[in-house]
Structure 1
């Protein structure tokens, strides 16, 4: 997510000025199709090649990114030289200057995208969260050039030229505000019912995030809510947020009830409050097949086979990360189920629910079951192997 400046352009019609002729828009044409995978929270990752490097790299597809970027460790490994700049990017972990790799190419299956300026960022935390190397993030620099169709039923992405698009009959057509990021009007209801602007963010592995300032000023949350403290990750590192639910969220004609919601103390105004109240993430958006039509400033949503899937209501207070070839406990929230189960920072996770795969995505899926007792085998320095019982709870 990138902090943006908003510029309003005013056009004056002068006497005698001739109206520009509106030409019919050509039909959008198919270019290519390729698969994607999903990390936890519905975050999409694709493989692509950078420049003349023969290896395929992992890129997250992120409408919450105002450009395109590479991981600093990837640049070091492949000796990709960059140039310092005064450009600042803002993420949930803070503000930082970034370097750039200018005028390079990205090779997707069946499509070469030229003249891209990649900014450099540190994605070590994202790699440790997902248990796989994250080499970069693809955002506005790509989406602004094409029509992109995302099918969560087939896990396929189709890319088309800009032009007139024939959308599916079923579904709804949104007309978000566009800066470098799409901004969509949503209706949210808990203590009260209200509408507000939210970022449309496929790179966020959550359903809904509200800035604490928005939640406080709007009085949106019921007083009975009991948010819990949880760990979150993003550009710039890790930080703690609060987690609760809201009664209802509506996007276009589609309603979702009892939606898990993060509350974020936005010290750097990443969410641009009071213009926007937060963001809509991909754990909710993955329930639609999506057509991103940035050139025409349109987004089409069509409910898919995941539409009625249950949300993730489980809470553990346990933060596990893939570090140095091991899955390690790095966060235990005080008073949480993980704390009550006597987890400790630096515990090495050997198995979860008798699953020894060492697959972060599998383990996170197991830990997303609310109100269950889950056996976790850990290795602790000085005591060896130990089995802990983690009793997950249901957020409310």
Structure 2
């Protein structure tokens, strides 16, 4: 992806605020009760919650990030809302450690629902378009359900919670405050390789496999066909990556997913010695195809396919990554190569048609979609799009 990154590796923030993991003394015979239900915004499948902190009237937009143990906001925002720093501590992020400031004993509000005694990490910089992140601190305290169909997040107290009839429950472990679930990956037709993957709603990809897992199972030399290359960057460690397709992937006992996007970490530099303790990360471009419930009482996540489950997966053409959002709109999700000054197409553009096939046809007609994707290298694709309320028409070329 050259100097531009889309499938970046969101940092795995492990703060360890001293909150115990798991629940004890809760009777399974007492029905679980709904405590609060709040709407959320979505962006490329990410869940964005509206939150207030302490007595401040300012409404913050925080990314619900299960790849992070706690909450975090930027230094400038912390200063503007008068957040009191109570201590410093080390935080582990991808590729290293750093000292951060922490504010303890805060009250966080989802609508009028109070979540007390929250630690908030303060970083010099955060997501440019958001105010910060809210991690697994809420999922540790409450049964947490994310409904993409209704765009609602619901919190329940611990007790006898009834899942949807459809779907499956997958057990998780929780080292360092992150949800780790089992999965199996096959790049071509080789036997599937079992692994342990972070359940990471804060990551913008479908699946990334970390370097130790890639190297151990020889994934880059097992017939993998890279469609584009890029890099991950965190804490000064930059690692090359290759994006393409996996023959199969499955969560534990759930149905096998075929021909799914996957990113593989290549070797070189610090990445060869980096060992995160798990094999990869499942991101929100895959997670958002399911409504899910995180249940700390049973140490499991329940997945139920939602209305987007059968949407085509993200696909790359001519230096651009395309994909459907939750509302069925075809968007340019990002760039997989350096910008082409001769092409007006940009990240975030709404795609109306490709080679005369409307976005609606590509969404619903698998035969037409697969025929379009099967064009050989060197083929031209005419893309009609809307950007900033202006229509554009570009021709891009399929690469090797």
Q: Is the 8 A contact 2:224 2:244 kept in 1?
A: no
1:152 is aligned to 148
- Detail structure 1 runs of 4+ shifted over 6 Å in the superposition: 233-239, 268-271, 364-371, 375-378
In structure 2, what is the Cα distance between the partners aligned to 1:255 and 1:271?
30
2:32 is aligned to 28
Q: Per-residue CA shift, 1:349-380, capped at 9, x if unaligned?
A: 9x748xxxxxx6446999999773447999xx
Structure 1: runs of 5+ lacking an equivalent:
6-19, 320-330, 344-348, 354-359, 379-386
TM-score (norm 1): 0.73
Query: Which residues in structure 2 correspond to 1:246-285 (within 5 Å)?
Result: 246-251=246-251, 252-264=253-265, 267=270, 272-273=275-276, 275-285=277-287
2:91 is aligned to 88
Q: Which moved more, 1:367-376 or 1:163-172?
A: 367-376
Equivalent position SS for 1:184: strand
In structure 1, what is the Cα distance between the partners aligned to 2:238 and 2:280?
18
Equivalent position SS for 2:88: coil
Q: Is the 8 A contact 2:317 2:396 kept in 1?
A: no
1:161 is aligned to 157
| 1:228 aligns to 2:232 (yes or no) | no
Q: Is the 8 A contact 1:33 1:110 kept in 2?
A: no
Count of residues in correspondence between the two structures? 337
In structure 1, what is the Cα distance between the partners aligned to 2:245 and 2:196?
19
2:139 is aligned to 143
Structure 2: runs of 5+ lacking an equivalent:
1-11, 17-23, 322-333, 363-372, 374-379
Q: Per-residue CA shift, 1:90-117, capped at 9, x if unaligned?
A: 136x432110111101110241100001
RMSD of aligned Cα (Å): 3.7
1:357 is aligned to none
- How far apart are 1:22 and its partner, in Å? 9.2
Q: Is the 8 A contact 2:382 2:393 kept in 1?
A: no
Shift in CA distance, 258/392, structure 1 to aligned 2, threshold 3 Å: farther
In structure 2, what is the Cα distance between the partners aligned to 1:22 and 1:256?
36
- How far apart are 1:230 and its partner, in Å? 2.7
1:196 is aligned to 195
Query: Which residues in structure 2 correspond to 1:313-392 (within 5 Å)?
Result: 313-315=315-317, 317=319, 336=337, 338=338, 341-342=340-341, 352=345, 361-362=348-349, 372-374=381-383, 389=394, 391=396
2:73 is aligned to 70
